Amino acid sequence: MINYEYPPLGGGAGIANRNLLKAFSARDDIEADLLTSFAGSGVREEHFSENIRLVKVGIEKKELHKWRKKEVVQWLWRAGSVHKEMVQKGSYDLSHCFFAFPSGFPAWLRKNKLPYIISLRGSDVPGYNSSLGLDYILLSSLFRRIWGSADRIAANSRGLKALAEKFYSSSPIEVIPNGVDRELFPHADRAFSSSRLKLLMVARLTYRKRVDIAIEALARLVEMGVDAELNIAGTGELTTDLKRLTAERKLHNRVNFLGAIDHSRLADVYSENHIYLMCSENEGMSNSVLEAISTGMPAVSSDCQGSEELIKQNGLLVRSQNPKIYADCLNKIYSSPELYRSMSLAAENIAKHYSIHAAGEKYIRLYRQTLQQ
């Protein structure tokens, strides 16, 4: 396996990768080495389990959750030599790359030595992140070569698959959704424990997550007479701007910036809130929405990639980035305890289909198909 980010570095792809490794650790028909990174120097080896090893390449990392181009190039250079040595010395059957780029680049260089599959995550798909527009143009030729040489390609949602096919349609793309660790995020019976509605977002504070829309939606809710607060777990480049917006809307006593919260503590945060709110412009498949519904939280979500699979009777989809529409949806759930209860129960039924073991089984099947080919 190759993934340039792994907790605590990076975001959702690292968590999804770790969940997959946990599923694999319970099996006796697979052994895996993960080539990844850590903030530091040298090369570090760790054992995830008896059958899984982590090989971490040190890089000079400035921020845990944000990658600078310099850091990506540094990882490519250092991980490339480690990958070459691993392929020469190891007895591997195939490579599994989380992200077509940069993770897929070392596998593509040695495609004649080892077959490889790609898991598309989001930012590696042109058109996904508007801030990477120039990068997509400059790297489009390389992307097509990496995708075209892959033995299999999988996206984590139907929406991401559709976006990927707009860029490259010469290879079939399968859909393998993310899995949620239901031991870490168990379902709990839910009811409004206080008169104040508690909304939750777990996100990096970047433009793509559109936390500003959530703050504006809260302002509309308050104008409608709803006693509500918004709790935001995460950090990012827009923290100062979002705090300024909060002050401008006079919501300083209703918006709580919780900062970065360790993933192992998030289950408690989900349990302390009532409705999960996501306003993202693009996602692959949101880990945080998966975790929220696993704990029984109803969700109000933008109609982005992955949402159509996850949001059914357990929440409401918003097809316009209009704060008032978000507010109306939130108020609809809040004003009906029966609807809230039914959505919470529906969340449990949906989450059952997205376990880490279900994701693991689908990837094992994909590995076998690749080797049979």
Dihedral-angle region of residue 173 (phi above 0 means left; psi in -120 to 50 means alpha; beta otherwise): beta
Alpha-carbon radius of gyration of the chain: 21
Residue 269 has which token pair?
């945060």
- Spatial distance between the Cα atoms of 124 and 97, rounded to a whole number of angstroms: 11
Are 231 and 250 in a shared domain? yes
pLDDT at 193: 64
Look at residue 6 and tell me if it is in a domain: no
What angle is formed at CA 106 by the lines to CA 102 and CA 110, rounded to 5 degrees?
150
Are 77 and 217 in a shared domain? no
Look at residue 184 and tell me if it is in a domain: no
Look at residue 104 and tell me if it is in a domain: yes
Are 212 and 340 in a shared domain? yes
Number of domains in the chain: 2
| Pairing relationship of beta strands 43-49 and 52-59 according to DSSP bridges | antiparallel
Here the CATH number for the domain that contains residue 103 is 3.40.50.2000
Are 46 and 120 in a shared domain? yes
Which is more confident, 191 or 238?
238
Are 288 and 359 in a shared domain? no
Look at residue 117 and tell me if it is in a domain: yes
pLDDT at 64: 84
Are 16 and 149 in a shared domain? yes
- Sign of the CA dihedral 263, 266, 267, 270? negative
Nearest to 6 by CA among 46, 49, 41: 46
Mean pLDDT across the stretch 331-353? 94
Mean pLDDT across the stretch 136-160? 96
User: Cβ of 264: how many Cβ atoms within 10 Å?
Assistant: 8
Are 138 and 238 in a shared domain? no
Are 39 and 169 in a shared domain? yes
- Spatial distance between the Cα atoms of 249 and 310, rounded to a whole number of angstroms: 31
Look at residue 190 and tell me if it is in a domain: no
User: Alpha helix locations (H) across the chain?
Assistant: 12-25, 69-89, 104-109, 133-149, 158-167, 211-223, 239-248, 266-271, 287-294, 307-310, 323-334, 337-351, 356-372
- Spatial distance between the Cα atoms of 80 and 78, rounded to a whole number of angstroms: 5
Are 157 and 203 in a shared domain? no
Decide if 280 contacts 320 (C-beta within 8 A): no
Identity (one letter) of the amino acid at 88?
A: Q
Look at residue 2 and tell me if it is in a domain: no
User: Cβ of 311: how many Cβ atoms within 10 Å?
Assistant: 26
Are 160 and 272 in a shared domain? no
Look at residue 1 and tell me if it is in a domain: no
Under the banding of pLDDT at 50, 70 and 90, the label for residue 189 is confident
H-run or E-run covering 72:
helix 69-89
| Pairing relationship of beta strands 275-278 and 197-202 according to DSSP bridges | parallel
Dihedral pair phi/psi, residue 113, rounded to 5°? -95, -35
Mean pLDDT across the stretch 49-69? 93
Are 304 and 362 in a shared domain? no
Residue 268 has which token pair?
């408690």
Q: Which residue has the tokens 């190039």?
A: 73
Mean pLDDT across the stretch 46-60? 97
| Pairing relationship of beta strands 299-302 and 52-59 according to DSSP bridges | unpaired
Tell me the residue range of the domain where 347 lies: 197-354
pTM of the prediction? 0.92
* pLDDT above 90: residue 24: yes
pLDDT at 158: 95
Q: What is the percentage of the chain residues whose pLDDT exceeds 70?
A: 99
Q: Which residue has the tokens 């870490």?
A: 184
Look at residue 302 and tell me if it is in a domain: yes
Are 159 and 16 in a shared domain? yes
**Residues 279-324: pLDDT tens digits?**
999 999 999 999 999 999 999 999 999 999 999 999 999 999 999 9
Beta partners for 119? 98, 154
Between the alpha carbon of residue 120 and those of residues 165, 194, 318, 367, the distances in Å are 11, 41, 25, 16
